[in-house]
């Protein structure tokens, strides 16, 4: 793989796990294209990566909840770059009573988590297939393994990502494109998130992860061709062992405590 002229695309790259993915790739001397919402200091972060790691860095600011924006992004990427890595990290969560959720709130989560991930992958796949070796990493969640009250839309969207990734992996297994999915728990992305997760009690604290460690591990496992990356084995074991009639009310209660707090 000649990474001197090919690029890795990272969505949701301005903060949290996406930012850590970008830093880890640049550290490995892989050129990166960063995608994020406008006004997230993406230009400054791009310049910082370029100066620190001596790699080529481009950035693109857009709202992925709008389908036309997704198509314009992928058209620009295909026209301008050879791409050998795609990390679909952009995603939206949210904790809210479903009766109090607005149509816009519901639609935005589905558009970013489900539609944008699917469309970006679909549109960039011909580009990836042209490379000697190529990788797709989709970011799902531990929430993919259980429905959760007060987070009704988010776990459902992450179940889609997990299923989509496994299916695409099987479909492309005889090609040069390797597809993987990671199912992390909550991240220590900022102080507010940490406080919010800790209010969920023991379960919340148990699943809280460091984004830099997660990104580093994911990229290592991606290149080792691990198709389902588990960064928190304890949480995963709990999700697999506990029957739905136990874990559904247990997790819903944890989220309810967060709302009440």
Contacts of 253 (CB under 8 A, 6+ apart): none
**Does residue 135 have an active-site annotation?**
no
Check if the beta carbon of residue 143 is closer than 8 Å to that of residue 98.
Answer: no
Specify the 3-state DSSP secondary structure of 193.
Answer: helix
Question: Cα–Cα–Cα angle for 88, 225, 3, nearest 5°?
Answer: 65
Any idea which residue has 């860095």 for tokens? 57
Q: Spell out where the chain has E strands.
A: 6-11, 31-36, 57-61, 82-88, 134-139, 177-182, 228-229
Neighbours of 95 (CB within 10 A): 14
- Of these residues, 7, 135, 154, 217, which one is catalytic? 154
Phi, psi of 190 (to 5 degrees): -160, 170
- Catalytic residue ranges: 154
């Amino acid at each position: 793989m000649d990474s001197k002229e090919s690029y890795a695309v990272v969505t949701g790259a301005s903060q949290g796990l996406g930012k850590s993915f970008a830093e880890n790739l640049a550290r490995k001397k892989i050129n990166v294209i960063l995608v994020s919402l406008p006004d997230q200091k993406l230009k400054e972060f791009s310049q910082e990566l370029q100066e620190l790691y001596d790699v080529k860095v481009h950035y693109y600011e857009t709202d992925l909840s709008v389908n036309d924006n997704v198509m314009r992004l992928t058209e620009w990427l295909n026209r301008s770059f050879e791409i050998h890595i795609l990390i679909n990290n952009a995603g939206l969560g949210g904790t809210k009573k479903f009766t109090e959720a607005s149509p816009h709130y519901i639609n935005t989560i589905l558009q970013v988590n489900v539609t944008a991930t699917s469309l970006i992958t679909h549109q960039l796949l011909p580009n990836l297939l042209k490379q000697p070796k190529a990788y797709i990493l989709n970011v799902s969640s531990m929430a993919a393994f259980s429905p959760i009250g007060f987070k009704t839309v988010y776990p459902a969207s992450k179940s889609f990502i997990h299923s989509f990734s496994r299916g695409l992996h099987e479909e492309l297994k005889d090609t040069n494109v390797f597809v993987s999915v990671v199912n992390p728990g909550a991240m220590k992305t900022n102080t507010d998130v940490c406080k919010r997760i800790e209010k969920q009690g023991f379960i919340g604290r148990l699943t809280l992860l460091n984004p830099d460690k997660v990104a580093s591990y994911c990229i290592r496992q991606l290149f080792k061709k691990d198709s389902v990356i588990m960064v928190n084995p304890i949480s995963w074991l709990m999700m697999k062992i506990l029957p739905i009639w136990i874990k559904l009310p247990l997790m819903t209660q944890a989220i309810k405590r967060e709302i009440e707090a």
